[in-house]
A and B are shown apart, each in its own frame.
Chain A
Amino acid sequence: MPGKLKARIVAGRHLPVMDRASDLTDAFVEVKFGNTTFKTDVCPKSLNPQWNSEWFKFEVDDEDLQDEPLQVTVLDHDTYSANDAIGKVYIDIDPLLCSEAASVISGWFPIYDTIHGIRGEINVLVKVELFNDLNRFRQSSCGVKFFCTTSIPRCYRAAMVHGFVEELVVNEDPEYQWIDRIRTPRASNEARQRLISLMSGELQRKIGLKVLEMGGNAVVGYLQCFDLEGESGLVVRAIGTACTLDKLSSGSAPNTNTHTHPNTAPASNACNSPSKDGKEPVFGEDLLSSSGLPTPFRALPTSSSSPPPFSPSKPCSRQSSSSDTDLSLTPKTGMGSGGSGGKDAGPLKTLLRQQTQTALEQREFPFFTLTSFPPGFLVHVGGVVSARSVKLLDRIHNPALGNTRSYKLLDWNSVTADEPETRDAWWEEIRQEIKSHAKALGCHAVVGYSESTSICEEVCILSASGTAAILNPRFMREGCLDIGIPDHRFEEPSPPSCGFCHIPYDELNMPFPAQLTYCYHCRRQKVPDVLFTTIDLPQEASVTGKGCLIQARLCRLKKKAQGEVNATAISNLLPFMEYELHTQLMNKLKMRSMNALFGLHIQISIGENMLLGLASATGVYLTALPAPGGIQIAGKTPGDLSNEHHISTIQKRINDTIAKNKELYQINPPKLFALDPEVFCGINMELTEELVGSPIPEPRQRSRLFRSHSESSDEVSELDLSHGKKDAFVLEIDDTDAVEDIHSLLTDAPPPTGFYSCNTEVMPGINDWTSAVQMFTSVRVIRLSNANLTNQGLNKIFTELCENLLKSFYFKLRSMIPCCLCHLNFTVAVPEEELIQVAVTAVAMTFDKDQTQEKLADKPITKGTGETEEQLQFPLELCADSSLPNTQPPGSKISGVPESTNVSSRVSSLERSSPLPDGRSRSLRSTRSFGGSSVTVVKMTPLSFLPGTRIIKYLGIINMFFIRETTSLREEGGVSGFLHSFIAEVFAMVRAHVAALGGNAVVSYSMKECVFMENPNKNQAQCLINVSGDAVICVRETDQEPTLPANTGQSCTSAAEGTT
């Protein structure tokens, strides 16, 4: 008997009129937990009843406390007939079971009815008294904290990261039970809501148990999904990362807001003096993706990636050890220290790998659902790994499942033991595949890991993806709590700030062909030319310019089919889809002159007659990676004049677009030509003087230099084709498809002035966020009227759909300019044969533009005076010009910096430098306070933080599932009216629950599921929505004592500034 649950019903308000005669309601309340029910008195003839009930006490097992929600039903008393239900409130009491979360739930909850929506509100008080249970074999896992946030929650510190936890539970879907034929839609919906609530509770409890077994106390990056498999059942599954978290006392909380760790700042340092600042993050970059399927995808990098920038001048640079050359020729440049570059890294890497392996290999799956990490955690990143598998959902005949089964029968060990195991086996298979892909990339772990499904009739695609990585074993070992102190044994000799970009695999034995070059940052190790990842951009990463949302969109028609045939058809299509999506991503990335993707999420959705693929990611220009080549168009038939003309027009348009994009995203990469060994030796000192300080490059020498590195777009046209072919990304126009592809490349409109967009937590290059946030959800469904659509036609429609959605957002949010849409999360579905549904959740955040401009305005360049301060401010300026090896960058020698002089000089010729990092004088544009209203303002955001605020307490996870149905669709304003009010209701219920827990915000909010079905002929519609997030209390940043010092790995300058 380890727990006592107490509930009190205080009052109701705004109740609906239930008695037409009197225009009033005689309301009373039933409070139910498990099988125990209490009732309040009837409060006659009132729409605002005051019950002021006694405390209803439930004595229950803590196991039940975890599984069951408290169910509050408001009814209208009727003397002569059955009482009418007004609506219900399900209260998840899980947050009360953890001492660090909420202690009481108290507040107004919307009374929800699945047919009528919200019908008034009820004020409820809930408390729990827990008794300690010392039973070692207990089934409950009270006290394990759950977080949706995919990073270490602010105000906690990760003492240890244990690893992957997963679980799934299965049940029959009440909607498909025979009884559904005779019961009301309301009863059926409620049965479903309650069942899913129970299953979620059970799932969470079981995962909690696993965490306890591992010795952890929390699950971070908890991702719960449900699969509506229709007749074959309902699966609720979850994955997460088990951790041991220590609560930080307030005041010492580490960076509470991300803008304290602007990427740019470190970036700039990194440029000049990579290692001078020990706090710089490890940047790991890597390449590209391997797909899980046996597809061309994996091979793709080869075909699509541009040759290494240096190749023209030094085609064989790869095999001739370039570092040797450098060393001998330019000993002074500091290459010596960098000499450990490519080759030396080998043994170190191996050592590192071995160390980590011991820690990781004990684990079945070294997966982490986190997308951002404590500094030092991530050592190298190998690229995206993904796996998909197509399964047939066969109905599992189970005699035990029958009409008599109550929901209590969730114990699947006794009932349908085979089913969860089937699903478990499926996932197991996929995870094994992911694991082996990661191994192939020379990585022992997968980060940013997620799983998803798409179901259509009886076919199901299971997908998993993540980013192969090498992690620092420190976090996996017991007893190394001090994350702030770098473990020097494993420290790479290279500056940690670009380490994550360095390839984890063996250069001579690459898992796939890729173009490697020396890191543009530290110059010591090899980096790939492009890097795709599913994680957020590491805070410390050095980025040039701003990032942007990049989407690849694809439709593929398929024949309608059944069963096995259908599944085969789908699995045959998948590799091609992945390949095309990848190609699109790569092209679009180059169009924007960027070289890395973060937050890559590829969704493939099945419909009866088509497959939809949507890949979203945030493109950035990583300073450590080579500049991307341009895109070269080539015709198949060179003789044809008109064709050639056509080609050159397209080529020009592409070049113009690239140039425009460079300007738009402020991509002015440092031109580190000194990095190229050839150039290095070839040019030598003569150039030095000229280049230093001359804003305008000397034409002759310059152009040659540039070409040898990267195709800067404006020069592409001058290049002869053969040159271009080697250097740039070549697209052949050989058929109409290719033309379409190129057109689609050009149709992506950039966001209007004042807007940026990304699908990661924050936008690389923007740091001075102000506190205005606007989270929104938008759903759009289009009907394809033309049955004879081609793949191209479909693609166009789908692309327009996504683009138009974005345009709508920009328009609606125009009052927030300057503003960035962050964490844009697109979900596509094919609800019916001719319907395409896209649901988007994102947050718009304002930032302080003036500051940026000011900074830019006063960017006089003091040449060469490289004190840290200045370097921070003008990160980009360091670039190009000049300094060759021997140039003395006056004053820029910072101790500990290997003299990689080549990097350290500045160029004045750069026009637009990226907005600067600093968080200084970040003005907190405070949002309007809602004084006077009795309703607490609850902010919601899909990010893990709210700008301008500090999270002081996590109150528990919010995980809610709602069904809404209507039989009067027209009267409710049609499908749009129906869904609009439902989404508004879901927001309202989430806010009410958070407020009742004592919170004022939801972070890491996401809408996991939005399943919409309509039958306009019958005037009916139904929608299911599943949302989750972390309820928190946050306070204005200005209210806090100065926080934390920079042991967290960000540059101290910015951190300190952040708090002033």
Chain B
Amino acid sequence: MSVELDVFVGNTTIMDEEVYQLWLDGYTVNDAVKVRMEGGVMEECEASADVLLSDTMDQYRTFQMCERLLHSPTKLANQLLFQITPHRQAVLIERYYAFDDAFVREVLGKKLSKGTKKDLDDIGAKTGVTLKSCRRQFDNFKRVFKVVEELKGPLVENIRQHFLLSDKLARDYAAIVFFANNRFETGKRKLQYLTFQDFAFCAGQLINNWTVGAVDNMVEDMDVDLDKEFLQELKELKILIADKDLLDQHKSLVCTALRGKTKAFTEMEANFKNLSRGLVNIAAKLTNTKDVRDFFIDLVEKFIEPCRSDRWTAADMRLYLTHYTNSAHILDTFKHQVVWDRYMGVIKSCIFKMYHD
């Protein structure tokens, strides 16, 4: 005797959140049944393994049928096939678009192409995320990317409206899209210590300050591409290191302000020129796409690592960068205050975030 066909359909679609998560995590039906049995759900209702298997299969089928709708979440609210409460719809969507930090860290900044998709099994093996789940997450990134690519208006808002995601998740997706579009290098060994949330924060800073959208909010791709004019203007900052007088003046201003306020003062004084050169050179090179990709690695190599080897504390870092930025305003020959602020504002917050004690 074998069960040939077994279905259960409710007028209001019945979905078990636990099973949904197992499905999202890429468990096979049998594995999911095992997990559920271990979870003790059987005792709850005097169920047997058969009952659990049948229920799990039903739920998996339902999710598979819903998946098509989840690809364009706005349809979920209008479709007639499944009667699902709005609250439950929101949960379904949010969970479907949720991702594993470990996974996203691996693909962050990579081109969302077929090539990357082929590497997913390696990534899966490395991160412990099932291939199925990797694919879903990757396809989600790609789908969001494709949709917002062609839209005008603010990136986060577009993602939120088209995919009905929470603000937090929409911001994370904005970061993913932004990184994928600019192909920022995040995979180097030196960057491994940074989490996705670190990068997401930086992406938010860049989106809000360095993109076209920061100036004009009705252009296509406004939040995805960096503001070219701004990048051009950044070249002007070179004067801060090229002009010897200016560099010395800047150093003495900063040192005066810092003296006695930190234990790392000696190192700061000694390294000032190096560090300043590092930051300004990063700015000056951003017109090259290649150098944009290396933005984070440059920040780490040129600034964060030297500071770390000198054992600056996070407070030291904060102090130093604040004075470094502000002192530039006092330099009378330095005319590029606006660009400087726009640049340093982002750099400051990125470094704060990226500098782990």
* Chain A contacts to B: CB under 8 angstroms: 13-14, 108, 110, 118, 121, 749, 752, 774-786, 797, 804, 807-814, 835, 837, 928, 930-935, 937-940, 973, 975-977, 979-981, 983-985, 987-988, 991-992, 1012
Contacts and interface: CB of A to CB of B under 8 A. Distances in A.
A808 B1 contact: no
Contacts of A811: 45, 47, 51-52, 55
A983 B7 contact: yes
B80 A110 contact: yes
Interface string B47-76: 110111011011001101100000000010
B4 A776 contact: no
B83 A976 contact: no
B1 A782 contact: yes
Interface of B: 1-14, 44-48, 50-52, 54-55, 57-58, 61-62, 64-65, 75, 77-83, 85-87, 89
A718 B322 CA distance: 95
Nearest to A934: B78
Contacts of B87: 928
A808 B51 contact: yes
B65 A808 contact: no
Given A814-B45, A973-B61, A976-B57, A774 B4 contact: no
Question: Which 3 A/B pairs are nearest by Cβ-Cβ distance?
Answer: A781-B5, A778-B8, A983-B9
A973 B14 CA distance: 19
B7 A778 contact: yes
Given A14-B78, A804-B50, A932-B77, A779 B5 contact: yes
Identify which of B45, B54, B65 gathers the most chain A CB atoms within 10 Å of its CB: B45
Contacts of B13: 984
A908 B11 CA distance: 45
B54 A808 contact: yes
Contact of B9 (A108, A780, A984): A984
Contacts of B3: 780-783
B80 A774 contact: no
7 contacts: A775-B11, A776-B9, A786-B1, A808-B55, A809-B8, A934-B77, A976-B57
A783 B1 contact: yes
B9 to A, nearest CB: 4
A774 B83 CA distance: 11
A992 B58 CA distance: 24
Contact of A779 (B1, B7, B89): B7
B55 A977 contact: no
Nearest to A840: B8
A14 B80 CA distance: 11
A1012 B7 contact: no
A449 B75 CA distance: 45
B54 A774 contact: no
B77 A935 contact: yes
B1 A774 contact: no
Contacts of A14: 75, 78-79
Contact of B77 (A778, A812, A933, A981): A933
Most buried by B among A118, A786, A981: A981
B81 A932 contact: no
Nearest to A817: B45
Given A807-B48, A928-B87, A835 B4 contact: yes
A777 B5 contact: no
Given A779-B7, A930-B85, A975-B4, 9 more contacts: A776-B9, A778-B7, A783-B4, A814-B45, A928-B85, A938-B11, A984-B13, A987-B9, A988-B82
Contacts of A110: 80-81
B215 to A, nearest CB: 34
Contacts of B11: 774-776, 938-940, 987, 991
Contacts of A988: 80-82
A980 B80 contact: no
A930 B86 contact: yes
Contacts of A118: 80-81
A30 to B, nearest CB: 22
Given A778-B7, A987-B11, A933 B86 contact: yes
Given A108-B80, A814-B44, A975 B5 contact: yes
Contact of B8 (A776, A928, A930, A1012): A776
Nearest to A807: B51
Contacts of A981: 65
B5 A979 contact: yes
Contacts of B65: 977, 980-981, 984
Nearest to A793: B1
B81 to A, nearest CB: 5
A940 to B, nearest CB: 5
B13 to A, nearest CB: 8
B62 to A, nearest CB: 7
A633 B274 CA distance: 100
A11 to B, nearest CB: 12
Nearest to B65: A981
Nearest to A754: B45
